[in-house]
A = this chain, B = another copy of it.
Amino acid sequence: MKEFSSVLVLISYAYLVDSSPSPSSSSLSSSDTTHVRPPFPVVKITFDHVSNVFGICLWILLGILAKIVFHLSHRLTKKFPENCLLIILGIIVGVLLYITHLEEEKRIYILNSDIFFLFLLPPIVLETGYFLPKRAFFDNLGTILLLAVLNKLFNTMCIGLTIWAFGKTTLYGGTQFDLLECLLFASFITAVDPIAVLATFVEIRVNDTLYIVVFGESLLNDAVTIVLYRMFESFLTIGQDNLIPMDFFLGFVSFFVVTIGGIVIGIIFGFMAVFMTKFTERTPVLEPLVVFIYAYIAYIIAEMTGLSGILAITICGMMMKQYVEYNITKKSMATIEYVLKMASSIMETIIFMFMGLTTVSEQQTWNTGFVIVTLLSCLIYRAIGVALFANLANIRRLVELTRIDMLIMSYGGLRGALAFALALVLDENLAPRRKEFITASTVVVLFTVFIQGTTLGPLVKLLNVRRKQIEEPTMSATLTNRMMDHVMTCLEDVAGIAGANSLRNKYNKFDHNYMKKWLLREQPQEKLDLRLWQTFRNIDLQTAIKLHEEVPGAKQITTSQLPKSQTLLAVVNPSTTNSRKASIISTILTKPDDIIIIPPTNNEVVSLTKPEDIKNFLDANMFDTHRRASIYVRGQDEIEKDEDLDPTIIHILQPSAIIDSPNYMLEQSTDNLPRQRKNRSDSTATNQLPSNDIDKCRF
């Protein structure tokens, strides 16, 4: 039934596609040259001016269909990862197009590098940047940089030289390769692909460190790839004999220009986007668009100026995520997240389908020796490089990477559409062996995605690699983590080292003193913390119900302790607080606006009359550090879990419950606050919150 529906839709489309481009008998576009009297056109078919858009729509539709069908049949997706199935589908479509001789129309359907870089890549990278677990990323930044930069350079040089050296033998059937050409090829065949890594690692759910190291590497090596690719391209343009040392120096300089330029553009546009959302109070529907358009412009400007667009849009997304949620409405926030997931999901689907299609449609030259040498050197040097630089990274790491980690890291270095797209862009004048390169890239990409991608999951299971923790860390773990941060910062201060912890401390101060003041509509403290209040409210209600459910005799005692007069506002009996000594907060949370506090008789008792005061009090006493962020895992099921909190229920439920132990209140609030702050600092955690999270707060 389900398959039938999709087949039905496909057939109806195929019919439409087939019939539309053919010049219908009734169509006639004002051909005044013929002397035959043109008939009156009842129906006028014009395909040309919509063919591009129509083609894109059909691809999107095919992508949606494919995803739906794959997800419906569990048997398929259990055996093969989704991206493999999509590549196979692309190959089938390619073969069909070839058989039906639609080659002339085909040109708009193949993976064009402009389409890839302008439309398909940005949404995916923006989504990953937006949902990037910042803490984990920055904690592992050293390792990531080692892998993304040095390992990448090492790999490029080794692979390039190896391929070139084997070219001197007869292994390639006499085909000669230029050294620069080989290095150019190596520069993109070593590019670990963020899309392939994401698609594979998300399904496997390895632990946070492993995931962020491989994924961070794939994000950051884009800059290095671009620099190396463009450098070798320029060297080829200049000609091997004309090269002077200055060129190498400029190539070295351009690495920093591309990287730092990309980061700066990302920060500037992120800043502008957040700043703009400061003023969207009266135009909330436009808020998601502000986020999307600034991120996209950052990407385009970076691409236009030859800087790293991937870095720019990643940084821009991270920056916006950090601040934008304080300014915009909850609905806008939800829409941004949903649309990002939607766009990246469909773009990913299309990329993999395109890859399959291009494999068939692009002209290729098969060279067995060359393909084998490329594939083997990719695998071997990846393993060597990862082992080398991971061990180097271990010198400075607190939690060392184990050998199994390294194995997974090297095995998980999947190549994907990025390498493929760069191979397609190659200029045949510069690289006469372009067709061999495309074939080799295809083989490497398919090998990594199919063989490595499908076996990575079983391998992780076999080696018993620590998986991602699904459940929330306990309260005590969170507190311990935060305390450890303090201790580390303190130790660094004492030792006089400017380590990661004191840097983070400094950034937090800067963030609080300047960034938030410039960028946010209102300071975050003043913003009402709905989840916190709702939890309190629920506790109140439960208390009321519990009291009510108890045996009437017991209840009578409880209620008799209270003054009888209040109906809407509940108060705490001063006599109980009176008898205690200090630091006991006695608030009854009725509504944010009308909290009633009984002024304590002795000054030692802390009085907190407003929500902000409570938060400030807790902030002051607990100091501001961040919990270790958990990894964001992309997946559709999580969207459902992220249930909104409904502010209306605060209004619905009458404020009339009584907490008779003030101590209990304080406990509850400290328990809730870090939870809440965590949700603020990275909503990745929010995504993983099980929907009945608040249930845990029950007592």
Interface size range on A against B: 35 or more
Known A-B contacts A42-B257, A250-B40, A544-B548; the reply to A304 vs B339 at CB < 8 A is no
- The DSSP consensus for interface residues of chain A is helix
Known A-B contacts A45-B304, A651-B695; the reply to A276 vs B5 at CB < 8 A is yes
Q: Which listed residue (B32, B64, B118, B547) contacts A53, Cβ 8 A?
A: B118
Does A54 interact with chain B (Cβ within 8 Å)?
yes
Beta-carbon contact of A45 and B306 below 8 Å: yes
Does A470 interact with chain B (Cβ within 8 Å)?
no
Give Cα A47–Cα B2 distance, bound, in whole angstroms: 46
CB distance from A496 to the nearest CB of B (A): 38
Q: Which of A446-454, A550-558, A670-678 contacts B (4 or more CB under 8 A)?
A: A550-558
Q: Which positions 222-258 of chain A face chain B at CB distance < 8 Å?
A: 230-231, 234, 237-238, 242, 246-247, 250-251, 253-254, 257
Does A279 interact with chain B (Cβ within 8 Å)?
yes
Does A383 interact with chain B (Cβ within 8 Å)?
no
Beta-carbon contact of A279 and B427 below 8 Å: no
Name which residue of chain B comes closest to A235, CB basis.
Answer: B40
Name which residue of chain B comes closest to A46, CB basis.
Answer: B304
CB distance from A570 to the nearest CB of B (A): 9
Beta-carbon contact of B114 and A549 below 8 Å: no
Beta-carbon contact of A250 and B42 below 8 Å: yes
Does A275 interact with chain B (Cβ within 8 Å)?
yes
Beta-carbon contact of A32 and B335 below 8 Å: no
Known A-B contacts A331-B338, A653-B541; the reply to A41 vs B306 at CB < 8 A is yes
Kindly supply a per-residue 1/0 record for chain A positions 479-492, scoring 1 wherever the CB is within 8 Å of any chain B CB and 0 otherwise.
00000000000000
CB distance from A573 to the nearest CB of B (A): 15
**A283 surroundings in chain B (CB, below 8 A):** 67-68, 71, 636
Q: Which listed residue (B60, B242, B304) contacts A293, Cβ 8 A?
A: B60
Does A305 interact with chain B (Cβ within 8 Å)?
yes
Beta-carbon contact of A9 and B272 below 8 Å: yes
Beta-carbon contact of A282 and B72 below 8 Å: yes
Q: Which of A172-180, A374-382, A498-506, A642-650 contacts B (4 or more CB under 8 A)?
A: A642-650
Does A303 interact with chain B (Cβ within 8 Å)?
yes
Beta-carbon contact of B5 and A57 below 8 Å: no
**A552 surroundings in chain B (CB, below 8 A):** 555-556, 559-560
Known A-B contacts A300-B50, A300-B57; the reply to A254 vs B43 at CB < 8 A is yes
Does A692 interact with chain B (Cβ within 8 Å)?
yes
Name which residue of chain B comes closest to A256, CB basis.
Answer: B42
Beta-carbon contact of A60 and B289 below 8 Å: yes
Does A61 interact with chain B (Cβ within 8 Å)?
yes
Q: Which positions 329-383 of chain A face chain B at CB distance < 8 Å?
A: 329, 331-332, 334-335, 338-339, 341-342, 345-346
**A639 surroundings in chain B (CB, below 8 A):** 284-285, 329, 331
Does A16 interact with chain B (Cβ within 8 Å)?
yes
CB distance from A351 to the nearest CB of B (A): 15
Beta-carbon contact of A43 and B306 below 8 Å: yes
Kindly supply a per-residue 1/0 record for chain A positions 390-434, scoring 1 wherever the CB is within 8 Å of any chain B CB and 0 otherwise.
000000000000000000000000000000000000010110000
Give Cα A275–Cα B16 distance, bound, in whole angstroms: 19
Give Cα A290–Cα B6 distance, bound, in whole angstroms: 13
Q: Which positions 637-693 of chain A face chain B at CB distance < 8 Å?
A: 639-640, 642-649, 651-654, 656-657, 691-692
Q: Which positions 276-321 of chain A face chain B at CB distance < 8 Å?
A: 276, 278-280, 282-286, 288-290, 293-294, 296-297, 300-301, 303-307
Does A38 interact with chain B (Cβ within 8 Å)?
yes
Does A577 interact with chain B (Cβ within 8 Å)?
no
Beta-carbon contact of A289 and B64 below 8 Å: yes
Name which residue of chain B comes closest to A301, CB basis.
Answer: B16
Beta-carbon contact of B64 and A542 below 8 Å: no
Does A102 interact with chain B (Cβ within 8 Å)?
no
Kindly supply a per-residue 1/0 record for chain A positions 11-54, scoring 1 wherever the CB is within 8 Å of any chain B CB and 0 otherwise.
01000100010000000001010000111111111110110011
CB distance from A334 to the nearest CB of B (A): 7
Give Cα A505–Cα B339 distance, bound, in whole angstroms: 39
**A78 surroundings in chain B (CB, below 8 A):** none
Does A567 interact with chain B (Cβ within 8 Å)?
yes
Beta-carbon contact of A289 and B335 below 8 Å: no
Beta-carbon contact of B289 and A342 below 8 Å: yes
**A32 surroundings in chain B (CB, below 8 A):** 237, 429
Give Cα A304–Cα B646 distance, bound, in whole angstroms: 45
Give Cα A258–Cα B41 distance, bound, in whole angstroms: 11
**A253 surroundings in chain B (CB, below 8 A):** 42
Copy number of this protein in the oligomer?
A: 2
**A296 surroundings in chain B (CB, below 8 A):** 57
Does A694 interact with chain B (Cβ within 8 Å)?
yes
Give Cα A44–Cα B233 distance, bound, in whole angstroms: 12
Does A580 interact with chain B (Cβ within 8 Å)?
no
**A143 surroundings in chain B (CB, below 8 A):** none
Does A564 interact with chain B (Cβ within 8 Å)?
yes
**A282 surroundings in chain B (CB, below 8 A):** 68, 71-72, 636
Does A165 interact with chain B (Cβ within 8 Å)?
no
Beta-carbon contact of A643 and B648 below 8 Å: yes
Q: Which listed residue (B12, B54, B250, B286) contacts A342, Cβ 8 A?
A: B286
Q: Which 6 A-B pairs have the closest CB atoms?
A: A44-B306, A646-B646, A71-B282, A40-B250, A335-B338, A42-B254
* A residues apposed to B, CB below 8 Å: 2, 5, 9, 12, 16, 20, 30, 32, 37-47, 49-50, 53-54, 57-58, 60-61, 64-65, 67-68, 71-72, 114, 118, 230-231, 234, 237-238, 242, 246-247, 250-251, 253-254, 257, 261, 272, 275-276, 278-280, 282-286, 288-290, 293-294, 296-297, 300-301, 303-307, 329, 331-332, 334-335, 338-339, 341-342, 345-346, 427, 429-430, 538, 541-542, 544-549, 551-552, 555-556, 559-560, 564, 567, 636, 639-640, 642-649, 651-654, 656-657, 691-692, 694-695
Known: A40-B246, A68-B280, A71-B283. 15 other contacts (CB 8 A): A20-B304, A30-B427, A42-B253, A43-B257, A43-B261, A45-B306, A49-B114, A57-B296, A57-B297, A289-B346, A334-B335, A538-B649, A548-B548, A548-B656, A646-B646
29 intermolecular pairs with C-beta atoms under 8 Å apart: A5-B275, A5-B279, A9-B272, A12-B272, A30-B429, A37-B242, A40-B254, A44-B305, A45-B305, A49-B118, A50-B300, A50-B303, A53-B300, A54-B300, A58-B297, A61-B294, A64-B289, A68-B276, A71-B283, A538-B653, A546-B656, A548-B548, A548-B656, A552-B555, A552-B559, A555-B555, A644-B644, A652-B692, A652-B694
